[in-house]
Amino acid sequence: MKLTIGYFYADLLNLYGDNGNVEILTARARSRGFDVAVCHIDQSTALTPELMQSINLVFMGGGPDSGQKLMYEDLINNKGSYLKDYINRGGVGLYVCGSYQLLGHYYKSADGSNLQGLGAFDLFTRHFGNKKPRCIGNVVATLCEQILADPVFKSVNKIGDTLVGFENHGGRTYLNKTLTPFAKVITGHGNNSEDGTEGVFYKNSIGTYFHGPILARNPHIADFLIAKALNEDTLKELDDGLILSAHIASKNLKQ
Amino acid sequence: MFYIILYLTKIFNLLIKTLRMGAGYTWPGHVALTLYPTLFSSTKLRFPKGIVFISGTNGKTTTAKLLTHFLNANGLKVTHNKTGANLVNGIASAILLDMNWRGNLTSDACVFEIDEFTLPFILQKFCPDFLLLLNLSRDQLDRYGEVDIIFDRWQDAFSHLPQKTVVLADSDQELFKQLGGNVIYFNSDSALLKKTRLHGTFNAKNVNAAFKVAKLLNLDLAKVEQSLTTFEVAYGRGELIKYGEQRFQVFLAKNPASFNHNLDIITAGNVVPEALLFVLNDNIPDGRDVSWIYDIDAKKLYEACKDKTIFVSGTRAQDMAIRLKYAGVSVDTANIFTNLKNALTRIPQLEVVVLPNYSAMLEVRKLLLGRSIL
């Protein structure tokens, strides 16, 4: 089996070491003997149904405002319908920060202007300007029941039911009640610093505010994505002693 | 009031140094500016030969030291924030500490390195003759924000600069092409670099930038070139520390750009260590977020580590070890030490290169030299 990662806008959406997620997915899949190809998708890529069919894992990160301005039109006009279709078909994907926001209905800026999103996730994001501080700091959260109960996750999970990372976002995201948050915040802000939710888990897609990059100290999520993408029930266990101890140590970091 | 703060600063600084509480450059300035907020617009601030500010993400300390060295080689006295205290407080301290007890400055020129985030604040009060802009790249996103935001604030501040200020900027920096007005662009000069003990492309630019300012200051360039051979690197920036039989060479690696640059120096064989010690802290001066270690080029990391014994330390040693592991570098679990002292005492190799981030660099120096800064 071959893992083909569709890496969207690597050059423009590349804040906070998020490219590390692709590096980690690649390394962990290769350690199990799988072939890995990283398919870069940017403004110059002409997406086709065949190309999207060949991808079994999508990664998209967050970027500085300048980067997001450059890719926004292309995402909405040229890539959006493919991506939305991929997500709805149950395509496996990880969307961090800026891209997580863009997959919602809209992003409302402090000045009241609205940036239309893809509407793949039933959520919206608001930025309150100077009225509310940025959500910055170390985060610890408990994974949602849906993931914890998933047989594939149960089989690859050697870490536990927690998620650790770092967040840094000005926008605050609000999920429709019918949607499942990815995790529940123990310490930190999560989606909006109000309702204790963090990210979204929809079909086989994960939207999240976790940097770190998220997969560095959360190998259970990395393996869950790989196994799902490759339709495997389980994966060969790797020597993750060091990562487990970093994961545990992260729970005691100052926020 | 002026004399009260002058004496307070001097006494405060002496006390801090005597009690070995630090270099004594941050708190005295803080107190001085609280009591005397108009310090920077004081008529006492006169430097007949010129006022030079140096800012950017990487290379400030080295470039400021180079220019100070050039001025000294021309027999000129310089006020310079040599400890690297480059926020408003540090600059106030450097000025007050260089004044005599009558409150007069006897320096011919001043060279200040200024933190890129602080630069706009300083420019509101204190205008340089020469403003040297080295580079802007990601550094401490959780504290400073994106590079674009810093540059926008710079542009805002620069629009109020008087005619007399000459701006010099690196021609390779895409953002700097947007600088309006009269800008003198500079690039690297490897011939100048070769005369120093410095290495790498960043330093080839730093040397050239300092040289360009020296030229604009009408210094005797023969003396400047001659002085290149006697230039001693700034603390923690390629500094060689002998410790018993061992030699530790310390290269501050505090963001992806400076990290990659230092890895290039190792891979190019400019330094030939047997062991590499990575030290990663997440203290306030470093930024709490260590995600940036994944912006370090994985291939460069792998190449630089090849055939060397790897040690990892710092408050986030495990995170650094994981990053190395994903870059394909094997790290022996027994070589990971959260406690830096343990790491330093357990390294058997004689030739060691240390790659620490900011607070880690100070700790390394404290343990090997007995002092963090100068």
Shortest Cα distance, chain A CAs vs residue B298, angstroms: 9
Maximum Cα–Cα distance for chain B, whole Å?
61
Which CATH architecture is the domain B237-369 placed in? Alpha-Beta Complex (3.90)
User: How large is the average pLDDT for residues B255-260?
Assistant: 96
Instruction: Test B148 with A213 for CB contact under 8 angstroms.
Output: no
pLDDT at B19: 73
ipTM: 0.96
Q: Determine the residue among A208, A211, A214 to mutate to test chain B binding: the one whose Cβ has the most chain B Cβ atoms within 10 Å.
A: A211
Range list of H helices, chain B:
2-18, 27-35, 60-73, 88-98, 119-125, 141-144, 147-158, 190-194, 200-216, 221-227, 256-267, 298-305, 317-326, 340-346, 358-369
Task: Give the model confidence (pLDDT) of B200-243 as tens digits.
Answer: 999 999 999 999 999 999 999 999 999 999 999 999 999 999 99
Instruction: Test A17 with B282 for CB contact under 8 angstroms.
Output: no
pLDDT at B38: 86
B141 at interface of A, judged by CB pairs closer than 8 A: yes
pLDDT at B108: 96
A39 at interface of B, judged by CB pairs closer than 8 A: no
* Whether pLDDT at B1 is above 80: no
Residue tagged active-site, from A189, A211, A220, A247: A211
- Active site annotation includes A97: yes
pLDDT at B118: 94
* Whether pLDDT at A247 is above 90: yes
CA-based Rg of chain A, rounded to a whole angstrom?
Answer: 17
pLDDT at B45: 87
Nearest CA in chain B to A219: B322
B294 at interface of A, judged by CB pairs closer than 8 A: yes
Of B294, B318, B336, the CB nearest to A17: B294
β-pairing verdict for A172-175 and A123-126: antiparallel
- Active site annotation includes A144: no
Report domain A2-127+138-250's class: alpha beta
pLDDT at A63: 85
pLDDT at B314: 98
Task: Give the model confidence (pLDDT) of A48-68 as tens digits.
Answer: 999 999 999 999 999 888 888
pLDDT at B5: 79
| pLDDT tier for residue B22 given thresholds of 50, 70 and 90 | low
Report domain B2-230's class: alpha beta
What residues of B are in contact with residue A254 (Cβ under 8 Å)?
Answer: 288
Instruction: Test B291 with A213 for CB contact under 8 angstroms.
Output: yes
Task: Give the model confidence (pLDDT) of A8-17 as tens digits.
Answer: 999 999 888 8
A18 at interface of B, judged by CB pairs closer than 8 A: yes
Instruction: Test A166 with B288 for CB contact under 8 angstroms.
Output: yes
Task: Give the model confidence (pLDDT) of A188-234 as tens digits.
Answer: 999 999 999 999 999 999 999 999 899 999 999 999 999 999 999 99
Each domain of chain A, given as residue ranges in start order, spans 2-127+138-250
Whole-prediction pTM = 0.93
| pLDDT tier for residue B14 given thresholds of 50, 70 and 90 | confident
Task: Give the model confidence (pLDDT) of B66-121 as tens digits.
Answer: 999 999 999 999 999 998 899 999 999 899 889 888 888 999 999 999 999 999 99
Each domain of chain B, given as residue ranges in start order, spans 2-230, 237-369
What is the distance in angstroms between the CA of the first residue and the CA of the last residue of chain B?
A: 30
pLDDT at B23: 63
Shortest Cα distance, chain A CAs vs residue B255, angstroms: 11
Task: Give the model confidence (pLDDT) of A121-170 as tens digits.
Answer: 999 999 999 899 999 999 999 999 999 999 999 999 999 999 999 999 99
Both tokens of A53, joined, read 């069919």
Residues 299 through 338 of chain B touching chain A, CB cutoff 8 Å:
318-319, 321-323, 325-328, 333, 336
| Burial zone of B255 (CB within 10 Å; 0-12 exposed, 13-18 middle, 19+ buried) | buried
What residues of A are in contact with residue B294 (Cβ under 8 Å)?
Answer: 17-20, 23, 213, 216
Residue A22 CB contacts under 8 Å (≥ 6 apart), including other chains:
A5, A7, A10, A38, A59
| pLDDT tier for residue B44 given thresholds of 50, 70 and 90 | confident
B215 at interface of A, judged by CB pairs closer than 8 A: no
Q: Determine the residue among A24, A66, A68, A242 to mutate to test chain B binding: the one whose Cβ has the most chain B Cβ atoms within 10 Å.
A: A242
Query: Regarding predicted confidence, which is higher, B74 or B14?
Result: B74
pLDDT at A112: 87
Task: Give the model confidence (pLDDT) of B136-152 as tens digits.
Answer: 998 877 767 778 889 99
Instruction: Test B292 with A16 for CB contact under 8 angstroms.
Output: yes
pLDDT at B21: 67
Reported residue count of chain B is 374
pLDDT at B64: 98
